[in-house]
Structure 1
Amino acid sequence: MDPYEEDSVVIQLSEEQEEEERQPSDQSVPPTGSQDQTDDTSTQGQEGDSEAEWDTDLETDSGTNRKQSLSQAEVYLQACQRIGAIPVSSILRHLGETDLNLNHYGLGPLGTKALAIVLQNNNHITNLELEDNGLQTAGTRYLMEMFQTNISIQSLNLSNNQLRLEGADIISKMLLDNYYIKSLKLSGNDFDDSAAKCFADALKGDYVVKELDLSHNKFCDAGGVHLGHMLASNVGIEVLNLSWNHLRMSGAVAVCAGLKVNSTLKQLQLSWNGFGRMESEALGQALRQNSTLVLLDLRGNRIDDDAVTLLCQGLANNDTLRVLKLSHNPLTNIGALTLLKTVKNNTQSAVEEIDICSVFVCEAFVELLEETRQKGPALDVQYSIMSFVTRNLSALQIFKKFLEERNESILDFFHALDKEETMKVSTHDFRKAVKEAKIPLDSQQLEWLIGKFDKDYTATIVYSQFAD
């Protein structure tokens, strides 16, 4: 049967349900056999969100039996015609695939209901993307009801649908009986502290959900406390994104307390939450005890040099963290050095990547990084550096290369200046000799090189250090 032909079998809905769901509109629904089926990018058919207006069943048992004789495309088209939703061609094209990406399609409650009807018994789709579709509470209910029979979808994206507390309550009730969804993205839904409690209660002891994205919401102190309790008792979540919330002070401390005892979390994203010294100290204490976290994202907070020192108290004893992101914090070169020294001195450290790309480091940092890389595994550090620092760092290599071209060593150069064989040369004599030899160093590079040789600023270079 051509999926675009009119069929006498329709989704079974009562006349009362049809009247409740159909909204007056000048826009006609294309007939099932129309070849002009196009995607509609505006929210389809707005439904009321009250409990009284929502029918609890997507269709009756009779409708289910008849539906089994139709193709998936036919079921979807019949559902759209019956409830007054505009068919989306992308749905028709991808019903037999594993990924169904409908982000930004503006389905609205009615469009979501038609989709839910066809997905009730779909066993192909494993990843469903529904970001920014104006689902509202009614659309969310239809989806959650669909999950009572659908057992194939494992990844669900409902971000940016303004679901708020009512939506959080609906999703949380679904999670209590969830055995299949492993990845759940709920970013940007105006969830507040009460919504955080809904999720925390539903996910305590949960072992199915592995990835949870709650970023770009409105969790504050109370929400952080609820999420911290969830972390302390959850046995499944491996990736948790809480970025772009308002988790600080008691809320942040509670999350860190949960992290202390959590035994499954591997990635924790806490960027742009306003973490400062108190929160960094709590994180440091958590890192002392946590033995599973491999990625910690703290970008865009208020972590300064003092705060990173408190964080390093935990890094000094941690042996699992591999990736640490700290860019766009008020760190300076001092904090960067503290961080690098901590990683270098921790012989059990597993850190492989550090992101401090917004921090301008000095020559000492770069030299310490090279030394760290030589003595241990490769360490990838993203940082910023001023051009003059790069020029200074090249001074020693320029000096060595010049001498090599003359078949001399650094030791030979100093010996020629040390007439009394004291193994010492004044910085004045060294400066004068470099200029007379016309070694291609500018004045800034020369002064940096002198400072490297005379680290204690005694105006004397003890060149025995080059004897090895």
Structure 2
Amino acid sequence: MERKECRLFRSDTAYLLYLHQQKIQPNKEELKKKSEKERRIQLYEENCRRNGVFRLSRFSRQIGTSDVDMSNACLNNVELLTILNTIKFDHTVRHLDLSGSIMCAQSYKHLCKFLRNNCSLLILKLQNCFIQGEIFHAVTASLRSSKVEFLDLGNNGVNDNDCETLSILLAMNTLKELYLNHNRLETRNFRQVGISLAQSRLEILDLSWNRIRLTGAIEIARGISRNTNLRSLNMSWNGFGFEGCVALSEMLEANNVLTELNLMNNRIHPPALIALIRGLSRNSVLKILNLSMNPIPVSYTCFLLGNILKTSSIQELILKRIVVNNDFLDIVKNIQRTRHVHVEYDRCLPVPSLNQQTLSEEVRAPWLFNLDPLNLLFMLKEKNRAQDFFNKINRDGDDVLSYQEFRELFKKAGIPVSQLVLDKIIEFLDKNKDGNIDLSEFLDGDKRIKKIARGQAKETARRESYTKYSRSFRKAKIDPQTYRLDIENSQ
């Protein structure tokens, strides 16, 4: 074939020149792509002239690609409108990052219109864009008709008043990954969020760096216990404490799909960890657990953290900034002989481990509870008379209250409690130590709880009145916990 083609040319040089031109001649598809990109660049320049803004070379270089990254570009209203109009009908864009943009009400109208018209976008990042309230609701409504699978709304000031909108967002069928870190979610209005979370198709959820605790933590744990899709949950830096860990323990018993759980810096003290271990021992799916930066003493690590590795299927245990002892390392080495386990910790010190009896006595100390059980009981009493509240608890009508009746009271109120909480309540109310509470003991205990509550309220008000003098306190070397002068350091 080459010889026949060669005869058509007068010389070999002409034939070689022809072959070279064939090699460097661009493909028709490449020419089409190049012309399409040039057309879009021209469209962008026309939009810039029409809106009276300068052309951004950073965006021009990304025209025609699947990723448009304009993070921290501080785009104003007109610049954002120009960019969105340029990529409005561009079905090749899969990833859009507008984090850090200076968005006003008009900007969000342009963004919502773009989201309603675009059907190809899969990844959307809107960090630090002040999306909250009505704006959060408008963006969520626009996303319901899109195919976005990855959504990042970190550091936007989303709070408890946005929980209704958040529940709508969690119910989206297309959404697979949702990041809501560094927001202001706390404890209120989480019931609907828990219901939506139970039916959500999310696979990764990040709620770190919020203030989710108490009822908020309980509702989230309840929702996840019924969820069948979530694989990774990040709840770090929230302050779950004792009540949150009891709820998480119940969640781990029921859930069989969650493989990664991050509980870094959640005020998980030994009683809370004991409650969590109960759920971990009955879970065979969780593989990665992060307990870094929680207040777990060295002498407790062998018994508590060692039990996690012994009784669960954890393959990776992360304990950054937690000091362990030699007994704990011995347990890790023994387990590694039978299965693969990776443990990351701060350092190891030759501190003796506590025995089970000593540990049991120490974890019952009242200061270890996030919310005192007596205050919890007083909170459930609300404005009822003590005698009416007694009759409400006394289901069987035998005029005495038992462990089971107190447990049913908290269960009906939707508050998961452990045996430690019930022990503390019974110990406080039971004067004759017979294990049951009669009416006279209950009325006397009610008076004592009220007296304790008044004293705590006065102490809280006294301490709060000193907050404006915090700098003076530091200069005077006064301990902020006890409000006493540190004589040794002040001299």
**TM-score band, normalised by the shorter chain?**
0.5 to 0.7
String of CA shifts for 1:157-186, please: whole Å, max 9, x gaps: 0010112212211111113323x1000000
Partner residue of 1:375 out of 333, 338, 353: 338
Is the alpha carbon distance of 1:335 and 1:100 closer, same or farther for their aligned partners in structure 2, counting shifts above 3 Å? farther
Summarize the Cα distance change of 1:233–1:386 in structure 2 as closer, same or farther, 3 Å threshold. Answer: closer
Aligned match of 1:366: 329
Cα deviations by residue, 1:105-139 (Å, 9 ceiling, x for unpaired): 01122111111101111122211111111123322
Supply the distance in 2 between the matched residues of 1:272 and 1:224 (Cα, whole angstroms). Answer: 18
1:92-241 aligned within 5 A: 92-178=60-146, 180-204=147-171, 206-234=172-200, 236-241=201-206
For structure 1, the residue ranges without an aligned partner over 5 or more in a row are: 1-67, 390-468
TM-score, with normalisation over the residues of structure 2? 0.62
Q: In the aligned structure 2, how far is the partner of 1:69 from the partner of 1:297? A: 44
The reply on whether 1:329 has 2:297 as its aligned counterpart is: no
Q: How does 1:249-264 map to 2 (within 5 A)?
A: 249-264=214-229
Shift of 1:144: 1.8
2:316 to 349, 353, 371: 353
Decide whether the 8 Å contact of 1:306 with 1:335 is kept in 2: no
Q: List gaps (5 residues or longer) in structure 2.
A: 1-35, 352-491
* Deviation, structure 1 residue 344: 3.7
Aligned pair in 2 of structure 1 residues 79, 159: CA closer, same or farther (>3 Å)?
same
| Contact 2:99-2:127 at 8 Å conserved across structures | yes
Q: Once the two structures are superposed, what CA deviation does each residue of 1:174-214 show, in whole Å capped at 9, x if it has no partner? A: 13323x1000000011111122211212432x320000011
CA contact (8 A) 1:272 1:301 kept: yes
Specify whether residues 139 and 228 from structure 1 end up closer, same or farther in structure 2 by C-alpha distance, changes over 3 A only.
same
Q: Deviations over 1:357-385 (max 9, x none)?
A: 21111110011100011122x11111122
For 1:184 and 1:94, the matched residues in 2 are separated by 21
The 3-state SS of whatever aligns with 2:44 is: helix
**Secondary structure of residue in 2 paired with 1:189:** coil
Larger proportion of helix: 2
Write the letter of the residue equivalent to 1:373.
Q
Q: What secondary structure, in the 3-state scheme, does the structure 2 residue paired with 1:212 have? A: strand
Whether contact under 8 Å (2:323, 2:349) holds in the other structure is no
Assess if the C-alpha contact under 8 Å between 2:177 and 2:205 holds in 1: yes
Supply the distance in 2 between the matched residues of 1:163 and 1:344 (Cα, whole angstroms).
42
Distance 1:297 1:75, change over 3 A: same
**Deviates most, 194-203 or 355-364:** 194-203
Query: Is residue 325–residue 350 contact of structure 2 (8 Å, CA) maintained in 1?
Result: no
* Cα distance in 1, alignment partners of residues 57 and 153 from structure 2: 25
Spell out the pairing of 1:387-466 with structure 2 (5 A cutoff): none
CA contact (8 A) 2:74 2:100 kept: yes
Contact 1:108 1:134 in 2 (8 A): yes
Indicate if the aligned counterparts of 1:175 and 1:203 stay in contact, CA closer than 8 A: no
CA distance in 2, matches of 1:86, 1:303: 53
Q: Tell me the residue number matched to 1:384.
A: 346
**Structure 1 counterpart of 2:209, which letter?**
W
- Deviation, 1:69, is 11
Cα distance, 1:71 vs structure 2: 1.4
Deviation at 1:334, TM superposition (A): 4.4
Matched, 1:277 2:242: yes
Deviations 1:45-100 (A, max 9, x none): xxxxxxxxxxxxxxxxxxxxxxx997111222211221233321111101111221
Answer whether contact 2:211 2:239 (CA < 8 A) is retained: yes
Quick check: 1:275–1:301 contact (8 Å CA) kept in 2?
yes
Alpha-carbon displacement from aligned partner over 1:291-344 (angstroms, at most 9, x marks no partner): 111111111111011111111111001111111111111112344334443334
Identity among equivalent positions (%) equals 26
**1:248 counterpart residue number:** 213
Q: Is the 8 A contact 1:176 1:203 kept in 2?
A: no
Q: Report the secondary structure of 1:359's partner residue.
A: coil
- Compute the TM-score of the two structures, normalised by the length of structure 1: 0.65
Q: Which segment drifts farther, 356-365 or 118-127?
A: 118-127
Question: Shift of residue 102 of structure 1?
Answer: 0.9
Structure 1 residue identity aligned to 2:307: T
